[in-house]
Chain A
Amino acid sequence: MTDLSPPDSIQLAARFRARVVFMSNAAKAAHLASALSCMDIVALLYHSVLQLDPLRPKWDERDRFILSKGHAAAALYVALAYKGFIPDAALDTYGMAGSLLEEHPSPKLPGVEAATGSLGHGLPQGCGMALAARIKQQGHRTFVLMSDGECNEGSVWEACMFAAAQRLGNLCAIVDFNKWQATGRSREVLALDPLVDKFKSFGWDVREIDGHDHAQIAHAVEHVSIREQKPTMVVAHTVKGRGVSFMEDDNNWHYRIPTVEEVQLARAELDVPIERSRRVSA
């Protein structure tokens, strides 16, 4: 029997995960583990936090969400389809010629706030959007999702100092801290630790959470508002490839494409019916 009740964010994340596994195979597109890593954060934000109007994608007072780790584009696309910014069927065109669903988000796609994919570009633009809200005396909030490897980029730290100087309390950045970057452990490639202390010393209100615990994610961002004096940094501990046992914490899945058999195995683990895994919009 079909369950017609709307999904909670945890069910939604499972459905999103099943869909991106399928999409990665269909498009032969990499970065699957990066999309799985941040999926609970994306699902929770789009399910319960972001104030959006898919019928008016450029509604001036919408909350802004920038997927600064643009290589996880598939995670954004399933969320945009769930909200109705793009048709569900568009997900089947991911990575194909003629499709705006490229492997990194295009600003031409409804619901995409910034062209990302080159790392370190999201937070400065998020600062601009948060500052614009203050100048225009609007109450909306700006959320920027980054990767830990992305924190290698100097522009991230330039933006951190700017946001603190301008007291952008309506800005919230989230680091998907899965401890991996493309070719190695993020704490080893560059000296990332202690990440929480770094952001604290840069003047941010830092919240350290389990990035797969939906209640913790919701709690960490609920205070974000134009009335706050400090920008919020959520350091979300995550597992790269989360949700699919044979991908979890295995950095080969930064680039590997799942086979048809692996898609079936993943779908079984995620316990999402085939019909559901093909559709993200209820």
Chain B
Amino acid sequence: MKPATIIKEKNGKRYFFRFTLNQRLQHILMASCVITLVLTGMPLKFHQAFWAPYLYNLFGGIHTAPIVHKTAGTTLLLLFVYHLIYATVTIVTDQVLPLKRSGQLTPKNLAKTLLNLPIMPNIKDVKDILDLLKYLLFLSDKPPEGAQFTWKEKFDYWAPFWGIVIIGASGLIMWNKELVTRILPGEVINFALIAHSDEALLAMLFLFIWHFYNVHFSLSVFPMGTVFLTGYLSEEQMAEEHYQYYREIMQAAGLEDQMLLPDGSRPQPSAADEQQLGEITVSDLPEAAKILDN
């Protein structure tokens, strides 16, 4: 497959590559499943709420809505399995095989490589959270400089990861109760119901409040973020959210003198700078992409 362009220019604006088409399709399918599961699950959890019967009837009521719920749940679990395979293949191809080819594939190196994956939580995330708190509490005017994936994005990735495991496993137990209680005691269904219901509520609130705020409703993205559709992030948002990574890309592309400030604003150029800016283009971007790929 043709590698994605790291920086794209459209209508005089720069956009930075974030997600492949495969990843975006996975995300859209997952979001559709989650929304369906919430709409068909919450009326059962809050069955006495005034809205519950109306919402449930939209999905065919008590005889059809559970079938819709199970279909969406099964699709999400299959997607989860696909994602595990996808992630494993990607890691093996991009990280493990190069190690093997260079003769450096040892358990220690493998563990180090896995822990250094951009999506893995690390010490910088802790530092970024502390810096963010300082910034939010007006103790500093410098927001944290995010890496390729910020602590918020890692949270958004790993929380549903845990959620799918818990909700999926407990859902399967309740669905196949006759089979499960051949091996395990009946009380396990009680535990499964608590876990399924409470974890689903947490997941729903987390996604619809926290995730939606960060990607759609925050003042810098409102009314809707488009990266989940286009796969590209605007330069302003890139600078605001991922300044460290943004700097790496811009430096690799030889564009460090055109960088935005960490808050996404453009620095006030001097007269001499303006003269120089007029001569710089982004024609070397494929070269930058090559550097970053390596």
A and B: partners? no
List B residues at the A interface (Cβ < 8 Å).
none
